[in-house]
Structure 1
């Protein structure tokens, strides 16, 4: 089949690779003249690593990233709020913190050898002939026809509404600013570490390996704040902010000292994507375009990778029928994580006392209940699913 994939992000490149290796003719269309990664670091779970393994790319990502064995979240007094260990799922399990540019580079380098045709500087704005779709770009150019069009242009997708006119994707009121820093002594190695001041302030450090340059161990630092206050942060007194953050988390002082101006931070906003369905005839949404959510469970890139591999597994010449079956299976997985993330978000990012009260009441004593750690680890690893996991995606 001839397939168009729109969006040269994680999900788009992974889908292009998985489909091309199944013998399909794949054209990857990207609006930017030079594709580039957006964001700082991300955490790959065992489920996402299984998808990379199916693509033959897990080893280089693991080698360039940083092993993560637990998530350690505490209040400002040092009291454990959230403690989730991969070993509670399997003794040899782990996650991998990785620079987004590293993951992007590994996927991008594999495109040409797999036979994927990459067309850059092509902003798709619509299509014609739905039964044999031709893509129309902003310059009036036509691409196609295609047997299937896969839309992977992210949570802020401009094409989602053309596939699912009633789709909703409101921006979360809370987001975060991110920046990378050096951690040559490995103070933050082995864990995603977070600190909470109620739910109004959350900050964390994620080890991400040596990054694209490969010269020193890096971490990604994030600071949660309302989207409405991001401009204030970017133009504010960084020294005053640094003093506040250091007083809240003295251990992070060597990281905070490296941030010399607000310009080193990148903004991250999130959407609660609810398209209703993911497909319409020969058009299919995947990745954040289909199920974007908040980052509380650290599953965004993982779900996109799984989408890609599972699509290639399930796609048949009966395109519309196989796409419908695919989305039913995937929505039982991704929808579950959307639901949990939607429920968790106000417990970690909100004003007032109710969210953190509920969080502390549930998580701290709840972690001691029989089987609770195992259930938490199942959620953390991305392996919680209603229905069968395809053999190729089993960690």
Structure 2
């Protein structure tokens, strides 16, 4: 039997998938259209459900060593008034693993460094797929052709694989744009692993420590879909977020301009299926989500572990793919749709409605009693 597997995309989902497939006897080949592993991309949060998946990969201690454990996360107003607190150390005791902030490049490097049998080919852009009953044939822009027992599309929200197997699919505009950066600003709170997200009128600013000396930050602002303002300087960002209390201005100030990126936010309207024949989508290619719940990378890691488990437990690829979809679809749809609705809620622009929003958050039950939150980050594989 052909035990080779083709993976399109060398991001988090592709690397994690290759690592898990190696463990069950496959020999993956990853094809990445860019010329190298991504070294940028800022940071991200790996909630307890993601670190549970990392534990299944056998990498938990190394993740802890290359990240910052988040002890607490606070939601506050733009003026710094606390609306709600998430005691993440307590939740780690409850769920078994910590929530961490990590540089995306660190996660990429750790996953890729653990690959033993996988070859990563850079500069290969997928242009066509051909499926038979026994294999998948992939064709690339440089003329290269390869075959595998099956193919995994892990090539992000603008997936070329998805466009081949499901040509009718829609990216959904969120109504806002986001800036991301890495700052050298730290204080007592960040060194203690305390994260926060401040909500203004149609604007947000979030901070996640990723080490003792660095923080990852993101900022959002409502926008129209077709607006393209080009580059925005640090001074302009400070002005855009002028209503936000310290340490927001200082965090922007202590960020290198080259480390600031801007992106208009889209998600993927939930699909009815992620597979067709011997081709399976995972990660953002299958279920790109808005970043409001910090679950994009987390779901990609879950996908990698569960897909490998499913393949190991079933005789046929088609049966495994069907079970994988049945196992994952409801959970992922819930997270994508909940993140979308949360974005609409927190990006409210009317001052009056923002005041109502803040009151609702302040009066809501504690996070430990929030069943939706527990359903998301308390998930065990």
TM normalised by structure 2 equals 0.89
Aligned match of 1:64: 66
Question: How big is the shift at 1:37?
Answer: 4.2
Question: How big is the shift at 1:46?
Answer: 1.2
Give CA-to-partner distance per residue, 1:58-89, whole Å, 9 cap, x none: 21121111111222111134333342222554
Aligned match of 2:126: 124
Instruction: Work out whether residues 139 and 146 of structure 2, in 8 Å CA contact, stay in contact via their aligned partners in 1.
Output: yes
Aligned match of 1:328: 326
Matches within 5 A, 1:95-110: 95-110=99-114
Say yes or no: does 1:351 pair with 2:346: no
Aligned match of 1:209: 211
Evaluate the alpha carbon distance shift between residue 167 and residue 86 of structure 1 in structure 2; reply closer, same or farther with a 3 A threshold: same
Question: How big is the shift at 1:329?
Answer: 0.5
Question: How big is the shift at 1:379?
Answer: 4.6
Aligned match of 2:267: 272
Evaluate the alpha carbon distance shift between residue 60 and residue 366 of structure 1 in structure 2; reply closer, same or farther with a 3 A threshold: same
Question: How big is the shift at 1:33?
Answer: 2.0
Partners in 1 of 2:232 and 2:92 — Cα distance? 46
User: Gapped runs of 5+ residues in structure 1?
Assistant: 211-216, 384-388
Instruction: Work out whether residues 89 and 374 of structure 1, in 8 Å CA contact, stay in contact via their aligned partners in 2.
Output: no
What is the root-mean-square deviation in Å for CA atoms of aligned residues?
A: 2.5
Partners in 2 of 1:171 and 1:310 — Cα distance? 29
Give CA-to-partner distance per residue, 1:242-283, whole Å, 9 cap, x none: 25635521233432322464x431123432212221111111
Give CA-to-partner distance per residue, 1:161-187, whole Å, 9 cap, x none: 222233222232212111111135444
Question: How big is the shift at 1:195?
Answer: 1.2
Question: How big is the shift at 1:320?
Answer: 0.8
Instruction: Work out whether residues 66 and 96 of structure 1, in 8 Å CA contact, stay in contact via their aligned partners in 2.
Output: yes
Partners in 1 of 2:264 and 2:21 — Cα distance? 30
- Determine which of 226, 251, 254 is the counterpart of 1:255: 251
Instruction: Work out whether residues 74 and 197 of structure 2, in 8 Å CA contact, stay in contact via their aligned partners in 1.
Output: yes
Evaluate the alpha carbon distance shift between residue 141 and residue 46 of structure 1 in structure 2; reply closer, same or farther with a 3 A threshold: same
Give CA-to-partner distance per residue, 1:198-225, whole Å, 9 cap, x none: 3x11012110116xxxxxx100122212
Partners in 1 of 2:195 and 2:376 — Cα distance? 12
SS in 2 for 1:139: coil
Instruction: Work out whether residues 79 and 245 of structure 2, in 8 Å CA contact, stay in contact via their aligned partners in 1.
Output: no
Alignment coverage as a number of residue pairs: 371
Say yes or no: does 1:318 pair with 2:311: no
Question: How big is the shift at 1:343?
Answer: 1.5
Evaluate the alpha carbon distance shift between residue 38 and residue 325 of structure 1 in structure 2; reply closer, same or farther with a 3 A threshold: farther
SS in 2 for 1:91: helix
Question: How big is the shift at 1:376?
Answer: 5.8
Question: How big is the shift at 1:117?
Answer: 1.9
Instruction: Work out whether residues 203 and 222 of structure 2, in 8 Å CA contact, stay in contact via their aligned partners in 1.
Output: no
SS in 1 for 2:219: strand
Partners in 2 of 1:64 and 1:260 — Cα distance? 22
Matches within 5 A, 1:212-223: 217-223=213-219
Say yes or no: does 1:288 pair with 2:284: yes
Deviates more, 1:374-383 or 1:12-21: 374-383
Aligned match of 1:137: 140
Matches within 5 A, 1:167-246: 167-189=169-191, 190-198=193-201, 200-209=202-211, 217-226=213-222, 228=224, 231-232=228-229, 234-235=231-232, 238-239=234-235, 241-243=237-239, 245=241
Evaluate the alpha carbon distance shift between residue 374 and residue 235 of structure 1 in structure 2; reply closer, same or farther with a 3 A threshold: closer
- Which consecutive segments of 4 or more residues in structure 1 shift more than 4 A? 227-231
Instruction: Work out whether residues 368 and 374 of structure 2, in 8 Å CA contact, stay in contact via their aligned partners in 1.
Output: no
Question: How big is the shift at 1:380?
Answer: 5.7
Evaluate the alpha carbon distance shift between residue 52 and residue 234 of structure 1 in structure 2; reply closer, same or farther with a 3 A threshold: same
Partners in 2 of 1:257 and 1:177 — Cα distance? 14
Matches within 5 A, 1:14-33: 14-33=16-35
- Determine which of 363, 371, 378 is the counterpart of 1:375: 371
Evaluate the alpha carbon distance shift between residue 286 and residue 358 of structure 1 in structure 2; reply closer, same or farther with a 3 A threshold: farther
Deviates more, 1:48-57 or 1:224-233: 224-233
